């Protein structure tokens, strides 16, 4: 039984129907799409298709001699597509050549903008394309999920190192920074700042007012320090400033005085004024000291200097007693 062109188009969208004299009678719709819809009917099949393996075929008898064998072919049009092929007799002395992309179907679909409608409904290529699309969608979903997870991890890590009330670093962040700087042999100054008269604000104005004062003080410290410096809230009204590379006593004294002066300015809370001050203890890390100090020892020296400032009247700064009078940095 001879099949109509419509039937062949449905069963083999990439077929070539060739008459006994070698002329192209019909081209399947998908194959025609690859040929950019250039009509090839009436032309000799060798002007359309090159059969070069298992051996060259330039006539219909030569082509039929390869019936049932796997062919390697190449379109001669602009597409220059390399295709797999199978030839069968058509019963009228001619031949039907069915072509396919083989394992290159995925690349061919992208290159030639093909869809599932360009393949026979029974073609396994459709299932393969669905699998490829499903895999691509799954990989994209996985990448999106990974990006979200990484973002969430970064946010969580950032929160774990941040004081929720002031937005400053917290004690954990300070501990990590101190360990890293000491381990790396870095020179730096550590300022331990404690607010004076803060308890009175909480007792008389309430904790909401106290929270507002803490946020204002945090903002002042950020404004007067460098972006590379670390400012951390380590207790209720206690703060630590780590100033990397800075060990000049004059500059540090000036910074401490400016911090105290700004913090002493009245802070408005709901139309009322709150006033606090600050005492500051200053210690230096000595990377050339023997033995090297630990973070705890450095904090203890800054703490001792802080309470020395408080004993001498508050609202002032003091250097650790173990620091030399002059620094070379």
Catalytic residue numbers read: 237
> What is the Cα–Cα distance from 291 to 289, expressed in whole angstroms?
6
Q: How many helices (H) and strands (E) does the chain have?
A: 11, 13
Distances (CA, A) of 327 to 105, 216, 226, 251, 295: 74, 32, 20, 11, 21
> What is the Cα–Cα distance from 311 to 298, expressed in whole angstroms?
20
> What is the Cα–Cα distance from 199 to 197, expressed in whole angstroms?
5
> What is the Cα–Cα distance from 270 to 328, expressed in whole angstroms?
47
Q: What is the CA radius of gyration of the chain?
A: 41
CB 88 within 8 A of CB 68: yes
DSSP labels, 99-110: EE-GGGHHHHHH
What is the SS3 string spanning 311-326?
Answer: HCCCCCEEECCCCCCC
Q: How far apart are the first and last CA of the chain?
A: 100
Name the token pair of 47.
């002007």
Q: Which helix (H) or strand (E) holds 175?
A: helix 171-183
> What is the Cα–Cα distance from 109 to 129, expressed in whole angstroms?
9
> What is the Cα–Cα distance from 96 to 26, expressed in whole angstroms?
10
């Amino acid at each position: 039984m001879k099949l109509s062109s419509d039937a062949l188009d449905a069963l083999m969208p990439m077929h070539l129907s060739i008459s006994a004299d070698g002329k192209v009678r019909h081209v399947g719709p998908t194959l025609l799409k690859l040929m950019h819809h250039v009509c090839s009917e009436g032309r000799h099949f060798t002007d359309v298709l090159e059969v070069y393996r298992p051996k060259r075929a330039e006539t219909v008898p030569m082509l039929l001699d390869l019936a049932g064998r796997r062919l390697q072919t190449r379109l001669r049009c602009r597409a220059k597509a390399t295709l797999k092929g199978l030839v069968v007799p058509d019963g009228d002395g001619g031949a039907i050549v069915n072509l396919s992309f083989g394992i290159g179907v995925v690349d061919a679909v992208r290159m030639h903008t093909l869809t599932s409608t360009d393949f026979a409904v029974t073609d396994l290529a459709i299932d393969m394309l669905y699998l490829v699309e499903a895999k691509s969608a799954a990989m994209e979903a996985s990448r999106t999920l990974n990006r979200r997870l990484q973002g969430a991890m970064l946010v969580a890590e950032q929160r774990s190192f941040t004081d929720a009330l002031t937005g400053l670093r917290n004690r954990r962040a300070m501990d990590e920074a101190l360990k890293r700087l000491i381990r790396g042999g870095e020179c730096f100054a550590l300022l331990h700042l404690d607010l004076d008269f803060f308890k009175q604000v909480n007792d008389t104005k309430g904790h909401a007012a106290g929270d507002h004062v803490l946020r204002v003080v945090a903002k002042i410290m950020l404004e007067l320090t460098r972006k590379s410096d670390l400012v951390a809230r380590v207790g209720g009204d206690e703060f630590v400033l780590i100033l990397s590379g800075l060990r000049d006593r004059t500059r540090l004294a000036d910074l401490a005085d400016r911090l105290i002066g700004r913090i002493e300015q009245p802070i408005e809370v709901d139309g009322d004024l709150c006033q606090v001050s600050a005492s500051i203890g200053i210690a230096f890390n000595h990377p050339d000291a023997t033995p090297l100090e630990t973070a705890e020892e450095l904090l203890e020296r800054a703490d001792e200097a802080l309470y020395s400032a408080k004993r001498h009247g508050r609202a002032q700064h003091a250097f650790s007693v173990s620091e030399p009078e002059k620094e070379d940095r």
